[in-house]
Structure 1
């Protein structure tokens, strides 16, 4: 029987992906960016290239973009905390587990910078958020791929690990191509690589449903002495994780 927590990574990926495509279509409809796949050559007054940050730069798409990125950062942070709790009792190299938690948490903060500081208004802060999101996010994917093979939960680690290594490689190649094509003025191709990078990254996060379906995460309320609090007593929150392996 699957745990309902398996839905969380999937919901995060679907909502984020759908929200970003809504931003794209709104920007195309408002004639702010050129459609993906079109022949692009910018002249004065023409469309901008369809980079995600440019699509989310102009209202009303910018309003949607901010909401999508904030919600994605929040849900992504919850996913990585639950992943940390899941690995804590079974991973011998806890510094890898803690490192993933810190790196992805910083990446989630970077998402909020990307969403709330538009590219044309605050370019330096926006680019810092982009570096944190893509750079730390890619590192997180590679380490999690290794951890998946190392832990081999429910004897599914090899299949899930191979899938995650393939996705990590796709993310890395897309990012390298994106930053290589931009200086050459090949903006349409660079934008396509950026969209591919984000979609691969969302698919990667969605794969955590594989492990989450085996686990249940519960919150137990205790007082300061560790004694369970009765329903009629005041709350004092302490989180406890109970795996079902």
Structure 2
């Protein structure tokens, strides 16, 4: 915790650590057992077969929960800073939080529905993660620019813009190359499965371009989360409990403030 500074700076660091550990662990096991080729497989391919699929699924679910928590803290941080001073910032902040829910849902779908079992659901989840993930980065970048100079500096805006543009370009390359490689793969029979592409396969260059793009996109997402560390170091999130009764069998009375209609006795 000391390395992350005070406040909630440890949250983005924890997310990145868990995500990277999951990817590296499942990759090593998949390579050792011969389930994928060593040279740039799709990240989710390294978690498609047992036993690495168990590790991949469990810890990607944890990463999804951590990602949602990080994005929620970002939402609350912006809300606490800006309040109702700017409608555009408030709207961007709310929309970003809605995207955060679907991004985390998509990540959970990727974890729980392996490509070898339920491919349409897996692809849908990946689309939510990557498509909405890039949109989330862009919206947070715009939001950061709108918060400058009153609430944050220009440097962090430029950093987030650079990362967002890398993610956007990588996403376009990944999906376009994937469509090309998949169409060429389906045109002819193969003696091996799609986890073991070889240079002799038609569409192999497009396939490698797509997988490399996915790795770049994933890394850029994690780096974007790390831009929250310094902001989170200035924040503290508390959960407070307000009892409305003296006994749990009593009927609570909900009121935000006392007025002439407030009951004197509960």
TM-score bracket, normalised by the shorter chain, equals 0.7 to 0.9
Residue 152 of structure 1, CA deviation: 3.3
Specify which of 2, 11, 14 is matched with residue 14 of structure 2.
11
* 2:237 match: 217
Q: TM-score w.r.t. structure 2 length?
A: 0.76
**Residue 82 of structure 1 is aligned with which of 65, 73, 81?**
73
Return the alpha-carbon distance in structure 2 between the equivalents of residues 118 and 55 of structure 1: 10
Structure 1 residue 157: Cα displacement: 2.8
Q: Distance in 1 between matches of 2:156 and 2:126?
A: 27
Equivalent of 1:179, from 165, 168, 175? 175
* Residues 6 and 210 in structure 1, CA contact (< 8 A), matched pair in contact too: yes
Q: CA RMSD in A?
A: 2.1
Structure 2, unmatched stretches of 5+, are 182-202, 247-251, 253-266
Partner of 1:27: 30
Shift in Å at residue 154 of structure 1? 7.7
Please, which moves more after superposition, 111-120 or 12-21?
Answer: 12-21
Query: Where in structure 2 are the equivalents of 1:122-201 lying within 5 Å?
Result: 122-152=118-148, 156-182=152-178, 183-184=180-181, 185=203, 186-201=206-221
Partners of 1:139 and 1:224 in 2: CA distance? 41
Give the number of equivalent residue pairs.
215
More strand by percentage: 1
Q: Radius of gyration: which is bigger?
A: 2
Tell me if structure 2 keeps the 8 A contact 1:153–1:211.
Answer: no
Aligned counterpart, 1:232 = none
Alpha-carbon distance in structure 2 between the residues aligned to 1:95 and 1:168:
20
User: Following TM superposition, where does structure 1 have runs of at least 4 consecutive aligned residues deviating by more than 2 angstroms?
Assistant: 1-4, 152-157
- Which string of whole-angstrom CA distances, capped at 9 and with x for unpartnered residues, describes residues 113-154 of structure 1? 000000011011111111111111110000101111221378
Structure 1 alignment gaps of length 5 or more: 38-49, 230-235, 237-245
3-state DSSP of counterpart to 2:238: strand
